[in-house]
Amino acid sequence: MMTEETFKLNNDVEIPVMGLGTFQMTPDQAQNATLDALKDGYRLIDTANGYMNEKAVGRAIKESGLTREKIFISSKLWPTVYEDENAIDDTLKRLDIDYIDLLFLHQPAGNWKEGYRQIEKAYKEGKVRAIGISNFEGATLDELLDFAEIKPQVIQTEAHPYYTAQKIMATLKPYGTRLMAWYPLGHGDSSLLKQPIFTQLAEKYNKSNVQIILRWHIQAGHIVIPGSTNPSHIKSNLDIFDFKLTDEEMTEIAKLDTETRYYNPTPSLVAGYANMRMDFNSQK
């Protein structure tokens, strides 16, 4: 099973529409899941400084035997290293690669302007192929867009049928920024997964409810990165390219959007990230 389907970013870089997310995975889990995903045909792997599994993802990439240019790797700088001029080089070393396909600011905390400048510099130097922001919204997003010399190619944010980040994406539309969805399945909320529309469509297309939701994401223009350590789930999540939802079905699913979120980025929570220090180079 394999897909070569991609979206074109606003700088003409091609990104796979589907990837593996490694949030909350231990190093062993991330290494095994990444290797399973690459064997199944995934070509996008998403990690982060803060996930503490970059080294493991790098090992799996080497073990896969795939050439570097066949794999799209995204990672994220954590707020405590935004002012560290070695942060991007350290990230490259942990992943054991020469360039990162997509590098995000992980949170709108700390000195994020300095962090963004560092990514822009790395972009100009060829160490980063695309620039991302994660969890930015509202006034902070407006401020970043005014500040940025190079507008972001991707925003990573919570998105699922209950919440499609319409306000955020309306702000970013003039720049052609793509949405990469985390919590694409609503953090596993059974009330979302078992919505009658998904059950009906799963029966119609001989797919699972999860596969219907993932297919919806891609047709909505989202890059999607479901995370799983289960080899069968990893494989089945990718099996969504042999059918297409109709315009009418997409319209019905759109009715589920109630702007219901599972992550509440309160100011105090976001501010706390700037003090959440970790030794990223101590990863196993």
Residues of the chain scoring pLDDT < 70: 1-3
Structural domains of the chain, ranges and CATH numbers in brackets: 6-282 (3.20.20.100)
**Which of 51, 162, 183, 273 is flagged as catalytic?**
51
CA gap 281, 284 in Å, rounded: 9
Amino acid type, 143: E
Q: For residue 3, what pLDDT is reported?
A: 60
Sheet bearing 44-46, strands edge to edge: 20-21, 44-46, 72-77, 102-105, 131-134, 154-158, 178-182, 223-224
CA gap 224, 205 in Å, rounded: 20
DSSP secondary structure of 76-134 = EE-GGGTT-TTHHHHHHHHHT-S-BSEEEE--S-SSHHHHHHHHHHHHHHTSBSSEEEE
CA gap 149, 42 in Å, rounded: 32
Task: Please check whether residue 198 is in contact with residue 212, taking contact to mean a CB–CB distance below 8 angstroms.
Answer: yes
Q: For residue 35, what pLDDT is reported?
A: 98
Q: Is 183 a residue of the active site?
A: no
Question: Which of 284, 274, 283, 282 is CA-nearest to residue 78?
Answer: 274
Beta strands in the chain (DSSP E): 6-8, 14-16, 20-21, 44-46, 72-77, 102-105, 131-134, 154-158, 178-182, 223-224
Question: Which of 89, 21, 102, 105 is CA-nearest to residue 274?
Answer: 105
Rounded to two decimals, what is the model's pTM?
0.97
CA end-to-end distance (rounded Å), the chain: 31
Looking up tokens 């070509």, which residue turns up?
43
